[in-house]
Each structure stands twice: as structure tokens, then as C-alpha cells.
């Protein structure tokens, strides 16, 4: 059924740049809350550092981005708004850590390249075997540590389940800022069927 000119105008106003930014901020808040779950750091060995937190945010951002890819103009606009929100947060965080104007630009470039690299690594690994995924997590999420294999397997299964859950979520709900992540692992291999 065709939408009236008034209906199209109302839809554009309701989904304007301000609304998209608000949705992106809502999604960002949700993914950061999930990425900061203590179990990842305290029981699954993710480094509780700037790098470790960055990698957890990247992992959860990947789940949203991969679901929105190829889902039309509104999804692309929301992905860009979420990306912009993420970069703005990175910049604010660097400034809080004392980085000056000159250093911020270089560090943001490095972070954006790292984010894009993580997203590509997780896409490729999820299309492959469990060993591919575990390897990608070891190199990226656990790159600065010597992790326990059970922890890597638990996070690998968490990410695989996260992608399955993301793929099942209606895009129109995500466009309203509603995105579900899988339950946070209990911190044990048994929690994700690895016993």
C-alpha cells in the first residue's frame, strides 16, 4: 500500500538525524553495558585494560554492524550513526586519559583501523571452523595475554551464539534501538556446553 505524502513527511521527521543519533546512542549504551560485564574480565581472562575494554566493545559492535549490513538505507544510516557515536566516545576517552589534539587524531586512526580489522577477523572466523574463531579471539581479544583455552572456547561460543541471536532479530526493532545480546557467560566452560 502506497504511503501518502503526509505519511512520508511524518516518517522522515520521526526518523530524522536527531532520532537516528538517539537510537545510535541507545544501542551504544546497550553494547557498552554488555561489553563491561565483569565476568569477561574477572573469570574469562579478558585484560581489564584500555585495550581489553576496546576489544570487548569491538566484539559487541561487530554483532550489531553485521546484522545491519545490507538491510537498506535506514540500516546503513544507523550503522554510520553508531560508528560516529563510537568514534566520538573513543575521542572523549582519549582526552580524559590526557591525550592532546595532535595525539588524538593519530590514536583515533589506529583505533578505527583496529575496529575494522576486528570486524573483518570475526566475520571471516565465524564463516570458518571453531578453531578459526578461537584463533581470531586469541589474536585480537586476548592478544596481550596467555589465556586459558576454556576461556577462549567460552567466548567463542558466546560470540557464535551472539551472531545467531543477532541474525534472528528483526531489523525494524534494531532501528528503534532494541538489540539483544546473548546472556553473559557464567565464566565456566560448562555454561556454554564445553564440559
pLDDT score at 108: 76
**Distance, CA of 88 to CA of 26 (rounded, Å):** 14
53 phi/psi in degrees, rounded to 5: -65, -40
- Tens digits of residue pLDDT in 1-28: 444 554 444 444 445 545 789 999 999 9
**Distance, CA of 101 to CA of 134 (rounded, Å):** 37
7-11, 29-33, 42-46, 59-63 — which is least confidently predicted? 7-11
Closest CA to 32 of 21, 40, 44, 42: 40
- Tens digits of residue pLDDT in 118-177: 999 999 999 999 999 999 999 999 988 888 999 999 999 999 999 999 999 999 999 999
Cα-Cα-Cα-Cα torsion 102, 105, 111, 115, nearest 10 degrees, comes to 180
Amino acid at each position: 500500500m502506497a504511503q501518502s505524502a503526509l505519511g512520508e513527511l511524518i516518517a522522515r521527521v520521526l526518523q530524522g538525524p536527531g532520532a537516528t543519533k538517539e537510537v545510535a546512542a541507545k544501542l551504544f549504551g546497550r553494547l557498552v553495558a554488555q561489553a563491561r560485564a565483569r565476568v569477561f574480565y574477572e573469570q574469562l581472562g579478558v585484560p581489564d585494560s584500555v585495550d581489553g575494554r576496546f576489544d570487548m566493545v569491538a566484539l559487541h559492535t561487530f554483532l550489531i554492524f553485521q546484522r545491519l549490513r545490507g538491510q537498506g538505507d535506514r540500516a546503513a544510516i544507523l550503522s554510520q550513526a553508531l560508528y560516529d557515536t563510537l568514534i566520538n566516545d573513543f575521542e572523549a576517552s582519549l582526552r580524559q586519559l590526557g591525550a592532546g589534539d595532535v595525539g588524538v587524531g593519530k590514536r583515533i586512526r589506529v583505533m578505527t583501523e583496529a575496529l575494522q580489522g576486528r570486524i573483518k577477523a570475526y566475520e571471516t572466523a565465524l564463516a570458518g571452523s571453531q578453531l578459526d574463531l578461537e584463533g581470531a579471539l586469541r589474536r585480537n581479544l586476548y592478544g596481550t595475554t596467555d589465556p586459558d583455552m576454556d576461556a577462549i572456547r567460552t567466548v567463542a561460543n558466546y560470540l557464535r551464539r551472539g551472531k545467531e541471536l543477532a541474525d534472528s532479530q528483526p531489523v525494524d526493532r534494531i532501528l528503534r534501538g532494541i538489540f539483544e545480546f546473548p546472556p553473559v557467560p557464567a565464566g565456566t566452560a560448562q555454561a556454554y556446553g564445553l564440559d
